[in-house]
Amino acid sequence: MDIEVNYRNKNRYKTARYPLRQRLFWTWLIRLLSKIALHGKDYRVETVGMENLKPPYLLLSNHMHFIDFELAAQATWPYSVSNVVSIDGYVIKFFLLEWIGAIATRKFTMDLHLIKSIRKVLQRGDILAMYPEARYSPCGTLAFLPESLGKLIKLNKVPVVAVVHHGNHLYAPFWNFRKKRKAPLHTVCKLILTPEQANEMSVDQINALLKKELAYDDYRYQKEQQIRITEPYRAEGLHKVLYQCPHCMTEFKMDSAGAELFCTACGKRWVWEEGGSLRALEGETEFDHIPDWFAWEREQVKQQIREDNYSFSDEVEVWSLPRVYRYIPLGKARMTHQPDQGFVLEGEYRGERYFIQRLPLQTNSLHVEYDFGPLKKIDCVDISTENDSFYCKLSQPNRITKLAFATEELYLRSMEKLRADKEAK
Ligand SMILES: [Zn+2]
């Protein structure tokens, strides 16, 4: 059982409430501001099969950068939209998000009211927009999709539109989003399911369709469209997601500078060429496609878990977010991540111990932030419960991408076990 933090003020920001309906003024203003933000950028928003589509509908978008919202706003005009937004987006500007009809949630928790709020928005005849990956894509490819999506679609009986952005990761890769690059952006909004079609499909079939329709790979898009990323700093930060050396297998000793990625353990170097391929400066090029390297790392983690060789423990620095006025510094704490126990965060605040646990089945993925602006640009992970969120800065560098892989793999393994147990009964 969790022991909550001993806050002086016991109140929490209430996520369990229905959103306001977005008024036309806000819809208009959001579109205007988005247009201004997109001005001068090379972008194209294409719609497929949406000619006669009117709300209510469910809009599912991939997620790479804030610019995703600005592009999606071009396709949904002139209808009002409610976006599902993470609680950290609410800090200080919560009143604004409430006015524009956003729905607050804590990431990767079992937020039962979220389902009700979504239903309410659709019943009002509006558009419900969701970014089901729930965080920016670390490597420009489709991240983990929760299987609850299929159920949500079955339940609500509205059309489903998939919005797939291409190029947004090339423009602002999550691992170095402050330094933008020149890249053409192409957004495709496509009606993928009518209520009648959804009605005839099983939940698993719907989930398989979503996986197919929302799939993307920004590095493949770069090669196919022959886009050249010429910025001399283009590989800076890439070591945050490519953290394991495929040559000497050492983890967390990768680094990057300029257009190069290198291993500080064995000294091997790779250059990220303007056309989008990686090339080893000497010897074999293990992976010329960045997402292949990323997928290989996931396999390594999976294998460590399978061989009972995975565990993590660290002293972390914690900031929490029980309400949305400011982050509360909680000081140092001990974080562990184990195959059976999941995440455990243990510390002390105002003289009393707190204990937060998230079992593998309670969290299907992990909220990771690189260079997190609100907290002095740290790399951190957020462990959320249903009424609090803990932003943890690790003391060991460059570990957070692996923690996210491990969280997802432990969740999937626990789900498999659960299914096997059910079938055995
Ligand atoms: Zn190496």
Ligand 1 centre and the CA of 255: distance in Å?
Answer: 10
**CATH 2.30.29.30 in the chain, residues?**
312-419
Distance (Å, whole) CA 67 – CA 90: 18
Distance (Å, whole) CA 86 – CA 128: 15
Ligand 1 centre and the CA of 268: distance in Å?
Answer: 6
Ligand 1 centre and the CA of 264: distance in Å?
Answer: 7
Entry pTM: 0.94
Is residue 108 over pLDDT 90?
no
Is residue 90 over pLDDT 90?
no
According to CATH, the topology of domain 24-224 is Glycerol-3-phosphate (1)-acyltransferase (3.40.1130)
Ligand 1 centre and the CA of 250: distance in Å?
Answer: 6
Distance (Å, whole) CA 286 – CA 270: 10
Which pLDDT score, from 0 to 100, does residue 93 have? 87
CA dihedral over 31, 34, 38, 44, signed as positive or negative: negative
Ligand 1 centre and the CA of 181: distance in Å?
Answer: 28
Ligand 1 centre and the CA of 39: distance in Å?
Answer: 43
Ligand 1 centre and the CA of 254: distance in Å?
Answer: 8
* CATH class belonging to 312-419: mainly beta
Instruction: Write the pLDDT tens digit of every residue in 295-306.
Output: 999 999 999 999
| Environment class of 1 (CB within 10 Å of its CB; exposed 0-12, middle 13-18, buried 19+) | exposed
Ligand 1 centre and the CA of 398: distance in Å?
Answer: 15
Ligand 1 centre and the CA of 260: distance in Å?
Answer: 14
Which pLDDT score, from 0 to 100, does residue 233 have? 98
Tokens of 175: 């691992």
Which pLDDT score, from 0 to 100, does residue 360 have? 97
Total number of residues shown for the chain:
425
Which pLDDT score, from 0 to 100, does residue 92 have? 85
Ligand 1 centre and the CA of 279: distance in Å?
Answer: 15
Ligand 1 centre and the CA of 10: distance in Å?
Answer: 49
Give residue 222's pLDDT band: very low, low, confident or very high (50, 70, 90): very high
Instruction: Write the pLDDT tens digit of every residue in 391-409.
Output: 999 999 999 999 999 999 9
Ligand 1 centre and the CA of 246: distance in Å?
Answer: 7
CA dihedral over 375, 381, 386, 388, signed as positive or negative: negative
Ligand 1 centre and the CA of 56: distance in Å?
Answer: 52
Ligand 1 centre and the CA of 220: distance in Å?
Answer: 26
CA distances 86 to 105, 147, 162, Å, are 5, 19, 20
Ligand 1 centre and the CA of 310: distance in Å?
Answer: 21
Q: What is the mean pLDDT of the chain?
A: 95
